[in-house]
Amino acid sequence: MAQVIMDKRDVEFVLHEQLEVEKLAKNERFAEFTKKTVDLIISEARNLAVKEMLPALKISDEEGCKLENGTVKVPEPFYRIYELFKEGEWISLCDDPKWGGQGMPTTISMAVKNYFHGANFPFTLAILLSHGAGKLVERFGTEKQKNLFLKKMYTGEWSGTMLLTEPQAGSDVGALTTSAVKNADGTYSITGNKIFISSGEHNMVENIIHPVLARIEGAPAGTSGISLFLVPKIRVNDDGSLGAPNDVVCTGIEEKMGIHGSPTCSITLGGKGQCIGTLLGEENKGMRAMFVMMNEARLDVGMQALGCASASFQNALNYARERVQGRHLQAGGKDAPSVPIIQHPDVRRMLLNMKAITEGSRSILYFIGFCEDMIRISNDPAEKIKYQGLIDLLIPIAKGYVSDRAFEVCSQGVQVFGGYGYTKEYPQEQYLRDCKITHIYEGTNGIQAADLLGRKLGLNKGQPFRDLLAEIRSTIDAAQKVKGLENLAEKTQTAAAELEKTAGIIGAMAASDKAMTAFSHAYEFMDVTGDMVMAWMLLWRAVVAAQKLQAGAKGKDAVFYEGQIASARFFTSTVLPISLGKMNVITAGDSTVIDIAEDAFGGK
């Protein structure tokens, strides 16, 4: 069975029919990105993904990474792929050409990343971190730092990472102990240990640039006293040439459940007292700066999860069409022939759920990219604020909710294959293993839920949440005018009204003496908000599809559009009623999670 990673038709549908990205070309900033150009970019990305990255997925999983004498060797195919990424300028898709970027719309980059992650997200992880680190230099660096580092990072000559986590701190970044002592020349001597550093060391490049969180001597405790530093693996001279090693040493790589091709490193800084860094941004403003990278990283984690889910679904779909086993449920007689398993009701149930989740998730992530583009081209300050508010509100959904649902899709992808799905003969088990990390890094999904409730729901006095509901209701209004979608619109409208009520209740609870109880329901609140956003996206898709059918779509296009309406029907009819039940749980405010004594959990 040929391995598949993505539904090309669905990618094109979101870009050109749902979001109509070619309209961005009307703005001078994106004038060169016409439909023809966009299609060419997506085609080239797909070719790279299918021909080079996908064949390396299983090999990289089996080979893994090796630490030898302080140097990490990545799987053999990665070296060629990395060179192709550099040659094709795939690392900095949306960035200023002055620094080696392509300047393309973010929406287009989401489609490109969708293919790359579906083909080989353990490899793509290194690229994302390099770009994120470069973004910090671009946003907060001095002119000297930009001139020394930025272009080499954006073009892939050098790579980048993110050094946050420490053994004793975990998600509590404020508890870090890495220290920075100011030197007479304005540089800082850095000392500390960092763990769980994706691509923290590897030999695909000659230098790795590490943004490092550390505390300057005498700075306040907690996150308010954290600063951000730029620490190269190899020191960089003022003329851009490489100098001496910078006392940045990889001390180990993790043996992990998945993403074996991505080296997850432990790093010691200043073990010999010779690690030098330069301040990136202002003193004690490191966490604020790092969140610039964090939002991008969390959106990319959602794309990683979608990549796994999309590939798992496509493989499951093909397998279900080819695997002949069991008679049709309504076949008469013992001699009735066996049929492809896609004809069995439970397999169809799983496939339709996988279809709806992958399609809706794709629309969610691409839409966030579209909001980024609207900020970039808008001249209206109020409009910019609106789109930034939508992005901020949706990031926990993009990372937390999408990765949760994607993992479920990958689990069903194993289930469709039955016993074969549990073996390494097929890729399904790897997608499940690889996808799990998306629940954990860049802020666990529990942290995403707390962020949604504690920060994003009340952001700007709740305006982003009101804007989201307005967008949803606009789509509902459109659906009510399309024959055949009235029932879907009504059900979605009911859920939206209930979510608004639920948000008000849990938001008030979080601001009261019942805050602990409120946050015990934060995960359910993220779930129901995500379900609402998913239902919105699927209804939006259904509106577009129904209009195309009414306009006379034929053949394969007609079948595709009918499939969009089926996805919306399935989700609205089978998932939204469960969401309403979860909303009832939230508004009831049960406090058992908080009330239970620690010893009552058992285990002693």
Residue 462 per-residue DSSP state: G
DSSP 124-174: HHHHHHHHHHHHHHHHH--HHHIIIIIHHHHTTSSEE--B---TTTTT-GG
Q: What is the DSSP letter of 219?
A: P
**Structural domain of 226:** 160-284
Residues 136 and 252 in one domain: no
Q: How many residues does the chain have?
A: 604
Q: Is residue 329 part of a domain?
A: no
Residue 365 in any domain: the answer is no
CA separation for the pair 215, 224 (Å, rounded): 10
Q: Are residues 275 and 149 in the same domain?
A: no
∠ CA 433-439-445, nearest 5°, is: 165
- CATH assignment at residue 125: 1.10.540.10
Determine contact, residues 189/273, Cβ cutoff 8 Å.
Answer: yes
Query: Total domain count for the chain?
Result: 3
pLDDT at 69: 87
Separation of alpha carbons 418 and 125, rounded Å: 30
Domain check: are 59 and 194 in the same one?
Answer: no
The residues carrying an active-site annotation are: 442
CA 293 to chain CA centroid, nearest Å:
13
Model pLDDT for residues 170-221, shown as the tens digit of each residue:
566 667 889 999 999 999 999 999 999 999 999 999 999 999 999 999 998 8
Average pLDDT over every residue of 35-45? 96
Distance of CA 253 to the CA centre of its chain: 23
Q: How far is CA 356 from CA 211, 537, 564, in A?
A: 38, 10, 8
Structure tokens at 503: 């948000």
Q: Is residue 366 domain-resident?
A: no
Q: Across-strand partners of 188? A: 182, 277
At residue 6, the pLDDT reads: 83
CA distance 348 to 356: 12
Kindly calculate the radius of gyration of the chain based on its CA atoms and give it in whole angstroms.
25
What letter would DSSP give residue 275? Answer: -
At residue 248's C-alpha, the angle toward residues 243 and 249, to 5°, is: 125
**pTM (global) more than 0.85:** yes
Query: Minimal CA–CA distance to 199: which of 241, 236, 156?
Result: 156
SS3 180: strand
Distance CA 147, CA 422 (A): 50
Assess if residue 342 is contained within a domain: no
Same domain as 104, residue 61 = yes
203 exposure class (CB count in 10 Å sphere: 0-12, 13-18, 19+): middle
Average pLDDT rounded to a whole number, residues 502-521: 97
Whether 367 is in a domain gets the answer no
Whether residues 254 and 168 share a domain: the answer is yes
Please report, to the nearest 10 degrees, the dihedral formed by the alpha carbons of residues 258, 259, 261, 264 taken in order.
-100
- 470 within 8 A of 493, measured Cβ to Cβ: no
Mean pLDDT of 239-251: 96
Average pLDDT over residues 239-253: 96
Q: Is residue 427 part of a domain?
A: no
Claim to verify: residue 449 and residue 587 sit in the same structural domain: yes
Cα distance between residue 385 and residue 375, in whole Å = 8
Residue-wise pLDDT tens digits, 291-312: 877 888 999 999 999 999 999 9
Helix orientation angle between 286-322 and 428-436, rounded to the nearest 10 degrees: 160
Domain boundary among 230, 250, 284: 284
The structure tokens listed for 408 are 């479920």
CB-based contact 164:173 (threshold 8 Å): yes
What is the pLDDT averaged over residues 127-144? 93
Instruction: Say if residue 462 is in the same domain as residue 530.
Output: yes
Closest to 146 (Cα-Cα) out of 77, 95, 93, 84:
95
Residues 23, 135: one domain? yes
Q: The domain that contains 169 carries what CATH number? A: 2.40.110.20
> Which of 154, 175, 195 is the last residue before a domain boundary?
154
Shared domain for 178 and 146, answered yes or no, is no
Judge if 117 and 189 occupy the same domain: no
Please indicate, yes or no, whether residues 473 and 502 belong to a single structural domain of this protein.
Answer: yes
On whether residue 126 sits in a domain, the answer given is: yes
Q: Give the single-character DSSP code of 65.
A: -
Per-residue pLDDT band for 127 (boundaries 50, 70, 90) equals confident
Task: Tell which residue, 269, 187, 180, 275, has the closest CA to residue 218.
Answer: 180
Report the candidate in 466, 533, 532 with the shortest Cα–Cα distance to residue 504: 466
Average pLDDT over residues 8-29: 96
In a domain, 516, yes or no: yes
pLDDT in tens, 252-270: 999 999 999 999 999 999 9
Residue at a domain's end among 246, 268, 284: 284
My answer on whether 452 and 576 are in the same domain is yes
